[in-house]
Amino acid sequence: MKYKYKVCVYAICKNEEKFVDRWYESMKEADEIYVLDTGSDDETVTKLKSHGVNVKQEKIDPWRFDVARNKSLDLVPMDTDICVCTDLDEVFLPGWREKIEKCWKKDTTRLRYIYNWRLDGDEPIVSFYYEKTHARRGYKWVHPVHEVLSCSLNEERVEISDEIILNHYPDQTKSRGSYLPLLELSVKEDPDDDRNMHYLGREYMYYGRYNEAIETLIKHLKLKKATWNLERAASMRFIGRCYLNLGRIEEARIWYLKAIDEAPNLRDGLVELAMLEYNQKNYLEVINYLTRALMIKNHERIYINEVFSWDYTIYNLLSCSYYYLGLFDISLFYINKALEIDDINEMLKENKRIILNKIKEPN
């Protein structure tokens, strides 16, 4: 097949020999593949070269993701029309090259497509739009971590495709220990960047540094650039989560309500608040919030989506709440709904057995 454009894949890697073969099989639809290896001491480089991949080795010290990405992009020839940045733990569904050619126009500079960040087998759990495919000129990577493409062109022309799908199969053994100091550096370098301030607050939360997380997330909300309501709602939820972990229930409740008001089209704030109320045994409140959550049918393709808002959790919490209210038939209805989503979950099966036994008890 004759293609209209020259397409090159580029990537960075370190000690990823177990992913090389799968990654190459996915990426070989490109005309050329370029990889910057940043210090592997396994067979990563040897395996890449055996597939004909163009590999350069260079250690980045001090480590920054943006520097590494830009050095890998430097390997890509300037006559390339379309640059496709991926990582070795990512896999395109077959036919991606033809689909890129189909939607890329002469004046296109960037492409947005589906990224399945988390999967359960072949079933996507967390999906959002990715935009790491771009023109050769006018782009560079910025930020030490959670790096993004910065465009210097007078006008950026972005195409969107739901047909191009990139799946993520991460190495769960790899540490993310470098993320926190790099995020602190990102915020120090650009204290007005709302995205990195949000990420830093979230990272403090992950580390259990709840007071620092609250302070940082409030800083995010006060930034002039922090106008995206969905990310603002996530910061509010995280503040609520931090207060919850600190045992400050009422403050947590207030922030969850703020998150719901900020993004009424998202389930996440409603579900987290329902979880809080469930632990407080406020079952009527649980039912109220989760019923409202179920009325939201549109699953936004954004990175802040929570798995628990779209899996069996809502139905299980409804089932348990109705159970404790003594409404066993309704409880059975919702546990069956939960099992429709996850029919091998032993906890859900046990919950159903308990409900059925209660229904069979003589009055």
Question: How does DSSP assign 156-188, residue by residue?
Answer: --EEEEEEEEEEE---TTS--TTHHHHHHHHHH
> Among positive and negative, which fits the CA dihedral 79, 85, 88, 94?
negative
Q: Give the least confident one: 170-174, 240-244, 305-309, 343-347.
A: 170-174
Question: β-strands 54-57, 139-142: how paired?
Answer: unpaired
pLDDT tens, position by position, 285-296: 999 999 999 999
Residue where the block lists tokens 């967390």: 126
* Gap between the Cα atoms of 233 and 229, Å rounded: 6
Q: Tell me the whole-structure pTM to 2 decimals.
A: 0.90
pLDDT tens, position by position, 118-150: 888 888 888 999 999 999 999 999 999 999 999
- The yes or no reply on domain 179-295 and CATH 1.25.40.10 is yes
Query: Would you say residue 1 has pLDDT above 70?
Result: no
Q: Where are the domains of the chain?
A: 7-168, 179-295, 311-363
**What is the pLDDT averaged over residues 22-29?**
98
7-168 and 179-295 agree in CATH topology: no
Tokens of 321: 């709440």
Most distant CA atoms of the chain, gap in Å: 80
**3-state SS class at 125:** strand
Taking a C-beta distance cutoff of 8 angstroms, is the pair 265, 297 a contact?
no
Cα 118 to Cα 91, 113, 123, distances in angstroms: 12, 15, 9
Residue where the block lists tokens 């036919």: 95
Binned at pLDDT 50, 70 and 90, residue 301 comes out as confident
Binned at pLDDT 50, 70 and 90, residue 2 comes out as low
Taking a C-beta distance cutoff of 8 angstroms, is the pair 126, 118 a contact?
yes
Tokens of 76: 């890509």
- The CATH number for 7-168, chosen from 3.40.50.300, 3.40.1160.10, 3.30.2290.10, 3.90.550.10, is 3.90.550.10
Binned at pLDDT 50, 70 and 90, residue 350 comes out as very high
Taking a C-beta distance cutoff of 8 angstroms, is the pair 13, 24 a contact?
no
**Mean pLDDT over each residue of the chain, to the nearest integer:** 95
With pLDDT > 90 as the criterion, what percentage of the chain qualifies? 90
